[in-house]
């Protein structure tokens, strides 16, 4: 074997052995308080890039709190545990650094930013992440994504979420997801308040973005309804109750919740947060 061929063989073998593991969100024993009130009580979760994980749970169980905490909202005080993505300690990073690392959050209740148009917002967000596109390419991509989400072109120049209907806000959040191409998308109830057609458009949109990423994007989807999962088949479903993940399973778990609700968890006699065993 020639020296070069031998070197190539050694390099290939080293790469195979030392290839970085798939990027993953790791949450270990995360505890979070809001205004002094403990909300998350030791959350453990793994979401690998390339998979869709669903987070369900009764109102007030802490799902949005987890989402905000992972993004670094200053109101949510981490009092214990750890969270990392792709081996990087998230808790040590400011929200913009977390976004740069590839985290994205679509809000349950998106806020309006009067004075900032959708087009300027998206350009600034891409620039901040070092993903700026030449103007013509940016406009073309924005047009494509808006068409796919059946958004009227007038939304480009409207102030972000200002006067948008509930359903329009959810589409605008999905548009941000499409343009920013994150590595981990946390979608907080992207399906709430949508009519049946809009629900299909948003679900198809997320699926399309997922497929386009070719396994480079993971999704943590917070939802109350099985319906969106008819389009987006999850790899795992997690149930949160009283600030903890109390059960995890396959897509059938979401089906079970749809049929039976959360009674098996909320009426358990075991102490809150204790793993509830299911038949």
Ligand X SMILES: Nc1ncnc2c1ncn2[C@@H]1O[C@H](COP(=O)(O)OP(=O)(O)OP(=O)(O)O)[C@@H](O)[C@H]1O
Residues that bind ligand X (CB under 6 A): 34-35, 37, 39, 57, 59-65, 75, 108
CB atoms within 10 A of CB 9: 11
CA pair distance 150, 226, nearest whole angstrom: 23
Comparing CA positions, the residue from 179, 174, 228, 220 lying closest to residue 199 is 228
Of 51, 61, 64, 192, the one binding Mg ion by CB under 5 A: 64
3-state SS track over 223-252: CCCCHHHHCCCCCEEEEEECCEEEEEECHH
Nearer to ligand X, 65 or 174 (CB): 65
Number of residue whose CB is nearest Mg ion = 64
Task: Answer for the pair 72, 93: CB distance below 8 angstroms, yes or no.
Answer: yes
- Binding residues with Mg ion: total (CB under 5 A): 3
Q: Choose the one of Mg ion, ligand X, none that binds residue 34, judging by a C-beta under 5 to 8 angstroms depending on kind.
A: ligand X
* Shortest distance, position 174 Cβ to Mg ion, whole Å: 17
Decide which of ligand X, Mg ion, none touches 174; Cβ closer than 5 to 8 Å per partner kind: none
Contact 29, 42 (CB under 8 A): yes
69 binds, among ligand X, Mg ion, none (CB under 5 to 8 A by kind): none
β-sheet with 244-249: strand ranges across: 103-106, 184-188, 218-222, 52-56, 236-241, 244-249
CB of 236 to ligand X, least distance (A): 18
Closer to Mg ion by Cβ: residue 64 or 69:
64
**176 HSE (CA, 13 A, CB side):** 26
User: Which positions from 104 through 163 interact with Mg ion, judged by CB under 5 A?
Assistant: 108
192 binds Mg ion (CB under 5 A): no
Look at strands 103-106 and 184-188 and give their pairing. Answer: parallel
Provide the minimum distance between the beta carbon of 178 and Mg ion in the complex, in angstroms, as a whole number: 23
Nearest distance in Å: CB 191, ligand X = 12
The residue (of 122 and 186) whose beta carbon lies closer to ligand X is 186
Phi-psi region of 12 (alpha: psi -120 to 50; beta: other; left: phi over 0): alpha
In the list Mg ion, ligand X, none, the entry touching 65 (Cβ below 5 to 8 angstroms by class) is ligand X
**How many Å apart are CA 146 and CA 29, to the nearest integer?**
39
We find the least distance from the C-beta atom of residue 185 to Mg ion, in angstroms, to be: 16
By CB under 5 A, tell whether 174 contacts Mg ion.
Answer: no
Would you say 149 or 186 has its CB closer to Mg ion?
Answer: 186
CB of 255 to Mg ion, least distance (A): 21
Residue whose pair of structure tokens reads 């039976």 in the numeric block: 260
Residue closer to ligand X by CB (options 23, 39) is: 39
Q: Shortest distance, CB of residue 203 to ligand X, whole angstroms?
A: 19
- Please name the helix (run of DSSP H) or strand (run of DSSP E) that holds residue 138, with its range, or none: helix 135-148
- Site for Mg ion, rule CB under 5 A: 63-64, 108
């Amino acid at each position: 074997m020639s020296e070069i061929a031998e070197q190539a063989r050694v390099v290939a073998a080293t790469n195979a052995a030392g290839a970085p593991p798939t990027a993953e969100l790791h949450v270990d024993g995360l505890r979070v308080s809001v205004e002094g009130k403990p909300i998350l009580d030791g959350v453990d979760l793994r979401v690998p890039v390339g998979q869709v994980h669903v987070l369900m749970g009764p109102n007030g169980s802490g799902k949005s709190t987890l989402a905000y905490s992972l993004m670094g909202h200053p109101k949510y005080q981490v009092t214990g545990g750890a969270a990392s993505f792709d081996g990087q300690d998230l808790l040590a990073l400011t929200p913009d650094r977390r976004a740069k690392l590839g985290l994205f959050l679509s809000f349950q209740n998106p806020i309006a930013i009067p004075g900032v148009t959708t087009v300027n917002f998206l350009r600034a967000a891409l620039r901040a992440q070092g993903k700026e596109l030449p103007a013509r390419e940016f406009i073309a991509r924005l047009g494509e994504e808006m068409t796919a989400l059946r958004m009227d072109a007038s939304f480009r120049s409207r102030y972000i979420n200002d006067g948008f209907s509930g359903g329009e806000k959810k589409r605008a959040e999905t548009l941000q997801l499409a343009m920013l191409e994150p590595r981990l998308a946390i979608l907080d109830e992207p399906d709430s308040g949508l009519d049946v057609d809009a629900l299909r458009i948003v679900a198809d949109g997320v699926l399309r973005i997922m497929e386009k990423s070719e396994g480079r994007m993971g999704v943590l989807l917070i939802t109350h309804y099985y319906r969106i999962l008819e389009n987006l088949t999850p790899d795992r479903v997690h149930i949160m109750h009283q600030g903890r993940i109390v059960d995890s399973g396959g897509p059938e778990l979401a089906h079970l919740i749809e049929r039976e609700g959360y009674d098996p968890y909320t009426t358990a006699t075991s102490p809150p947060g204790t793993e509830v065993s299911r038949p």
